[in-house]
A and B are shown apart, each in its own frame.
Chain A
Amino acid sequence: MSATFYERGYDHHVEIIHQRDAEARRRLESLEVTLYDAAGVLLATPKVDPAQEILNLGALVADTTNTSERVMVVLDARYDEAIFPYRPHHYAYLHRAGSSAPPLYYAINAVLGGVPDRVGATNINNFETYVFRQGPFAQRHSVLLGCLARFVPAQVQVFTYYGSRRIARDVTLAPKCHVEVPLAAEHEGERLARVEVKSLFRLLSYVVGRREDTGDLVLFDHLFTYVK
């Protein structure tokens, strides 16, 4: 199960099919999409044709909700299990309509599933980090966090590093809730160098950069786990 965030005013297209070979183009067997607002309220469960190649999130959200706020988009996709036994993930194109900011192309965050048991990969993947460029660039940074748990809230710690200083912030996310946690660009004269996100279980998480003047997204990326 993968998930991302949609914000109004963006061209945001998800590439659904990404497994192809010379013999055949393999389509999803099913694709269930659910949309949640920041309070975890289910906004819609739009019907989506799993055979289509590109999912236009802007149209999907506009057609099925009346919200203008950020929406968490959860994608539960399956191939025929005889062909591809674990859950496929997706890539997406993101660009603010009319903006001179460059378009972004990113891997949608795999959250629930996607690690088949036969692989036996039991490394911790719920501690994540992101290292920022040190050159000056006019951006406001934040992390977008979402909780895909069904029953329990997530207790999250977000650590930011400025030189030798570490600033901690606690965040609690109820099931299906999401939040944008702003990261100060500087602290006591030191620039933001790194962010860490830690929780009991894996969350939906993206590190985000916005233009200082317009707020347009110029960075939208997943964080990286400590252990590979």
Chain B
Amino acid sequence: MTPTDTQPELRDDLLLCYCTMLTIGQLRAACNAGRWPLDGKENTGKLCTACVGDLLYCLRRFGVDASL
């Protein structure tokens, strides 16, 4: 079993941030295009804060060196 096998699936349709309405698919596309943070999504993770851990995890999975 490779480490990838143990990683949770990141479904594109999953709503990551319920405050800015950012989906994982949007985040993935932005990271792939080198355009994170997207216009209008800069507050992702900063409002209710409940998705911060998941946001940082996803950013790292998508190759972005992320920290708070």
Which residues of chain B have C-beta atoms less than 8 A from A121's C-beta?
A: 47
Which residues of chain A have C-beta atoms less than 8 A from B10's C-beta?
A: 151
Q: Is A112 an interface residue (CB 8 A)?
A: yes
Which residues of chain B have C-beta atoms less than 8 A from A149's C-beta?
A: 50-51, 53-54
Q: Once the chains bind, are A111 and B46 in contact (CB under 8 Å)? A: no
Number of interface residues of A (CB under 8 A): 29
Contact with A along B8-20 (1 / 0, CB 8 A): 1010001001111
The A92-131 residues at the B interface (CB cut-off 8 A) are 110-117, 119-122, 124-126
Q: Once the chains bind, are B52 and A201 in contact (CB under 8 Å)? A: yes
Number of interface residues of B (CB under 8 A): 24
Q: Once the chains bind, are B49 and A150 in contact (CB under 8 Å)? A: no
Query: Which single member of B8, B17, B18 contacts A151 (CB below 8 Å)?
Result: B8
Given contacts A114-B19, A115-B19, A120-B43, contact A150 B52 (CB under 8 A): no
Q: CB within 8 Å of B: which residues of A?
A: 1, 86-87, 110-117, 119-122, 124-126, 148-154, 200-203
Q: CB within 8 Å of A: which residues of B?
A: 8, 10, 14, 17-21, 40, 43, 45-54, 56-58, 68
19 extra interface residue pairs, beta carbon distance < 8 Å, beyond A149-B50, A151-B58, A201-B52:
A1-B18, A1-B50, A86-B19, A112-B48, A113-B50, A115-B19, A121-B47, A124-B49, A125-B49, A126-B49, A126-B52, A149-B51, A150-B8, A150-B14, A151-B8, A151-B54, A152-B54, A201-B45, A201-B51
